[in-house]
Amino acid sequence: MALRQIRIQGDPVLNKICKEVKEVTPRTLELIGDMLDTMYEANGVGLAAPQVGILKRIVVIDTTGEDPVVMINPRIIEADGEQTGYEGCLSVPGVSGKVTRPNRVKAVYYDEQLNLKEIEGTELMARAICHEIEHLDGHMYTEKVIGELVDNSELREQEEE
Ligand code: NI
């Protein structure tokens, strides 16, 4: 496994639509391993394949640091409730923005053995699932930010007040 370079907003690869994964090859597994390594190294809670320059429908999410979920061809099938809060993206370093998301989502996806799985998440997990799946269609959270992007150091000060 290895670290991959995280593409930064402005890189056209982040605005492309990713292709469905039809088979999981050793290269696919290597990519997934590298995505997990890259996400953990950058202290992120999620990473989508286009963020490392690969236009495949694969995302990895870990909201706790010890519970990685690898989602191939993920699709949201239910969403309800509402939450508004700050989120960030490894492709938009150093800043966060306020985004409204559903508070609960249910998604279906394939695991690395191409078994169909279902996952339900609330709060941060729901936010991460929505954020990462949008990357697969070339969308960035910055399109949805309410108000301005805030520097992360300012955000930490606000939280401490
Ligand atoms: Ni992101």
Per the structure, the complete domain to which residue 46 belongs is given by 12-160
* Structure tokens, 148: 């301005």
Find out whether 14 and 131 touch, Cβ atoms under 8 Å: no
CA of 140 to the centre of ligand 1 (A): 7
- How close is the Cα of 52 to the center of ligand 1, in Å? 11
pLDDT band at 149 (very low <50, low <70, confident <90, very high): very high
* Catalytic-residue membership of 132: yes
Q: In the predicted model, is pLDDT for residue 131 greater than 90?
A: yes
Q: Would 6 be classed as within a structural domain?
A: no
Distance between CA atoms of residues 127 and 120, nearest Å? 11
Fill in the amino acid letter for 32. I
pTM above 0.75, yes or no: yes
Is pLDDT of 155 > 90?
A: no
In a domain, 151, yes or no: yes
22 occurs within a structural domain: yes
* 47's tokens: 């990473």
What gap in Å lies between CA 124 and CA 45, rounded to an integer? Answer: 9
Q: Given a cut of 80, is residue 1 above it in pLDDT?
A: no
Contact 114, 29 (CB under 8 A): no
Cα distances (angstroms) measured from residue 98 to each of 26, 84, 150: 38, 7, 9
Residue 141 CA, ligand 1 centroid: distance in Å? 7
Report yes or no on 5 lying in a domain. Answer: no
Selected catalytic residue, list 132, 154, 157, 159: 132
Predicted local distance difference test score (pLDDT) of residue 30: 98
Please, what is the average pLDDT of the chain? Answer: 96
Q: What is the pLDDT of residue 157?
A: 81
Domain count, the chain: 1
Q: Assess whether pLDDT exceeds 70 at residue 136.
A: yes
> Which tokens is 38 given?
């890259």
**Looking at the domain assignment, is residue 133 inside a domain?**
yes
The domain that holds 134 is classified in CATH as 3.90.45.10
CA of 38 to the centre of ligand 1 (A): 13
pLDDT at 143: 97
Contact criterion met (CB below 8 Å) for 46 and 133: no
Instruction: For residue range 17-68, list pLDDT tens digits in order.
Output: 999 999 999 999 999 999 999 999 999 999 999 999 999 999 999 999 999 9
Residue 7 included in any domain: no
**Position 94 in a domain:** yes
Distance CA 35, CA 16 (A): 18
Quickly state the pLDDT bin for 161 (edges 50, 70, 90). low
Lowest mean pLDDT among 2-6, 100-104, 110-114, 155-159: 155-159
Model confidence band, residue 133 (pLDDT cutoffs 50, 70, 90) = very high
Query: What amino acid occupies position 83?
Result: Q
- Tell me whether residue 1 is in a domain: no
86-129 pLDDT, tens digit per residue, is: 999 999 999 999 999 999 999 999 999 999 999 999 999 999 99
Which tokens is 31 given? 């990519």
pLDDT for the residue numbered 109 = 98
- Strand segments, DSSP code E, in the chain are 46-48, 58-61, 69-80, 83-89, 92-101, 104-110, 116-122, 146-151
